[in-house]
């Protein structure tokens, strides 16, 4: 089963490689991993998406927690939460495609943020499946480049993952 796990880490050099190393050393799946400092510059927040059975996920959480740099950890999948991923996608936009791709961006509430005679860069935010759907919808052969951030997430409700 897919899990999305948020981790508050000490913002130390090497913290990211400890997490990445843990996943490779123990053979855990890792679908995506994003990390950036928080409002408190001494803390980084990492969001990682992984898959595994209940037993594996339990071990992943314990092993993450065991890392000395880990301050707090939350499995967002255990409660209601919001997930968002951002995508920048560069598409070939020539002739009749220009209108078609513009309409597609409107339908998906995406933004066109760069325009040349032959291309658009489209920015799209949403769930990972929405981003997948957009990619599917782009006419065959028009995609030049896809950049995805990997999902980030936050729990619903007033409680926060903070110190």
Partner 1 sequence: MELSGAEIVVQALIDEGVEYVFGYPGGAVLHIYDALFHQDRIRHILVRHEQGATHAADGYARSTGKCGVCLVTSGPGATNAVTGIATAYMDSIPLVVLTGQVPTPVIGSDAFQEVDTVGITRPCVKHNFLVKDRKELALTIRKAFYIATSGRPGPVVVDIPKDVTDPNIRIPYDYPKEIQMRSYNPAKRGHLGQIKKAVEAILQAKRPIFYTGGGVILGEASQRLRELVALTGFPITSTLMGLGAYPASDQKFLGMLGMHGTYEANMAMHEADTLIAIGARFDDRVTGKIEHFSPHAKIIHIDIDPSSISKNVRVDIPIVGPVDSVLADMLRLLREQDMRPDQQALADWWNQIERWRARQCLAYDRNSQRIKPQFAVETLYKVTQGNLYLTSDVGQHQMFAAQFYPFEEPRRWINSGGLGTMGFGLPAAVGVQLAHPDAQVACISGEASILMCIQELATCKQYDLPLKIILLNNGYMGMVRQWQEFFYESRYSHSYVDALPDFVRLAESFGHVGMRIERPADLEPAMREAFSRRDQLVFLDVVVDPTENVYPMIEAGKGHHEMHLSPDRELA
Query: Would you tell me which residues interact with partner 1 (CB under 8 A)?
Result: 9-10, 13-14, 17-18, 21, 25, 55, 58-59, 62-63, 65-66, 68-71, 163
Considering the complex, what minimum distance in angstroms separates the CB of residue 56 from partner 1? 11
Closer to partner 1 by CB, 6 or 128: give it: 6
Considering the complex, what minimum distance in angstroms separates the CB of residue 5 from partner 1? 15
Closer to partner 1 by CB, 56 or 154: give it: 56
Candidates 64, 68, 71, 66; CA nearest to 19 is: 64
Closer to partner 1 by CB, 65 or 156: give it: 65
Question: Long-range contacts: 107-110, Cβ < 8 Å, 24+?
Answer: 107/137, 108/133, 108/134, 108/137, 110/134
The CA angle 142-144-150, to the nearest 5 degrees, is 115
């Amino acid at each position: 089963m897919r899990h999305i796990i948020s981790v508050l880490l000490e913002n130390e050099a090497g913290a990211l490689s400890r997490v990445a190393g843990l996943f490779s050393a123990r053979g855990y799946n890792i679908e995506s991993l994003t990390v950036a400092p928080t409002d408190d510059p001494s803390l980084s927040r990492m969001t990682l998406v992984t898959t595994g059975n209940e037993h594996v996920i339990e071990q992943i959480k314990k092993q993450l927690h065991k890392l000395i740099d880990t301050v707090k950890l939350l499995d967002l999948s255990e409660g209601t939460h919001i997930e968002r991923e951002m995508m920048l996608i560069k598409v070939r936009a020539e002739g009749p495609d220009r209108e078609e791709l513009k309409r597609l961006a409107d339908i998906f509430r995406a933004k066109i943020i760069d325009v040349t005679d032959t291309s658009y860069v489209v920015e799209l935010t949403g769930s990972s499946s929405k981003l997948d759907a957009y990619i599917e919808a782009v006419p065959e052969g028009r995609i030049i480049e896809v950049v995805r951030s990997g999902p980030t997430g936050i729990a619903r409700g007033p409680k926060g993952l903070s110190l």
